[in-house]
Structure formats: structure tokens, C-alpha cells
Amino acid sequence: MTHSLLQQVAAGNANAVPELIDRYGGLVWSLARRLSLSQADAEDAVQEVFADLWKSAARFDETVASEATFIAMIARRRLIDRRRRAARQPSTFEVRDDLDGSVERITPERRAELTEEASKAAKAIETLRPEQQRVLRLSIYHGLSHERIAEATGLPLGTVKTHARRGLMAVREILGAQRPGEVEAKP
């Protein structure tokens, strides 16, 4: 039976560590560069992300998410926490957001490389109106607060909150999570 790299790390297999860093280092580094305030901050953040990853490896469940999505989740949590602690968001000027960020622009080659979850997310996002897509992109991809998105887009704050939350919840449901209020029935 083949075990995932995270499962191997959790089981104490030294060989899996460099392979895991090589395979997902680019993913974590890209996230850190985007969501950090400087190159030095990104370098510090990446080290913290991998420290978190070693501790969290045993929680990985391949029936719930792919390794890439799980690792991206761990990385985002750390990066968002660091940005919060630094009490600073990127200014609107620092966020270069344009139509190139539309999911319709994903090349066929890149689409084929996407994880199953990201592929489903892309399809879900494609069903949203451009305005909704942009709010979701500014919220999730750029990590802007609702207030900052309202400033940047000119949309009412309530509309921004609705677009951001509903977009995320829609993808969550497509990925198979229980709907709010639902719990597994106990036998």
C-alpha cells in the first residue's frame, strides 16, 4: 500500500521529508510571497508553516482532501495569523488584481494539474458573476478584509460580505462538506 508523503512523515519516515519539501515547497513559497509583507517576512513564514506541518501531518486524511490542499490550508492559516499579528493589510495599491486573475484564464495545462478540490472550486467560481468572482478573489486570494474590498470595488459592505461568504460556502458544499446545521446521524 502506498502512503502519502504526509502519512510517511507522520510515521517517522525520514526519506519523505526532503521529498515533501521539494514537492510542496513551491506551493508554500508562492503563498508566503503573496500573503507576506516582505521577502524576509515570507522566509520566516515558510519556516513556521513547515514547523506547523510536521506537527499536523498526522491529522491529514486523504479521504477528505489532497495533500496540496491540506498543506495550502495549513500555510494559509499561519500566513493569515502572521498578517493579523503584524496588524497590517496590503494596501489596495499593492494588490494587483485584474482580469488575469479570472479562473476562465486557467490554461488547459494548468487545469490538468489542479487538485480535484481546486478543479471543483474553479468550476464553481466560473458560475459566479464577474463581480462576485472579483470579491471572492480579493477576499481569499489577496486576503483583503471586507472593508478594504468595499473601498476597492465601490460595492456596499453588505454586498461584499454576502459575495465573499456565499462564494466560499458554495465551494465548501461542492467539496462535500456537511451543510451548516447538518450532522452525521449516529447509528
Span 97-136, contacts to another protein by CB under 8 A? 100-107, 109-111, 113-115, 117-122, 125, 136
In sequence order, the 6+-apart residues with CB closer than 8 A to the CB of 4 are 60, 62, 67
CB of 169 to another protein, least distance (A): 6
Three cell numbers, residue 83: 498578517
Q: Which is nearer to another protein, 115 or 159 (CB)?
A: 115
Instruction: Please report, for residues 37, 45, 85, the alpha-carbon distance to residue 53 in angstroms, rounded to integers and kept in the order given.
Output: 22, 12, 20
Rounded to the nearest 10°, the torsion over CA 25, 73, 166, 123 is 50
Span 35-64, contacts to another protein by CB under 8 A? 40, 43, 46-47, 50-51, 54, 64
The label of the residue with cell 479562473 reads: 103
Decide if residue 156 touches another protein (CB under 8 A): no
Query: Are 166 and 135 contacting, i.e. CB atoms less than 8 angstroms apart?
Result: no
CB of 50 to another protein, least distance (A): 5
Decide if residue 150 touches another protein (CB under 8 A): no
Among 5, 6, 152, 171, binds another protein (CB under 8 A): 171
Kindly state the DSSP code that residue 114 receives in the 8-state scheme: S
Decide if residue 19 touches another protein (CB under 8 A): no
SS3 state at 12:
coil
CB of 5 to another protein, least distance (A): 11
CB of 156 to another protein, least distance (A): 17
Among 63, 88, 129, 183, binds another protein (CB under 8 A): 183
Query: Are 79 and 36 contacting, i.e. CB atoms less than 8 angstroms apart?
Result: yes
Decide if residue 187 touches another protein (CB under 8 A): no
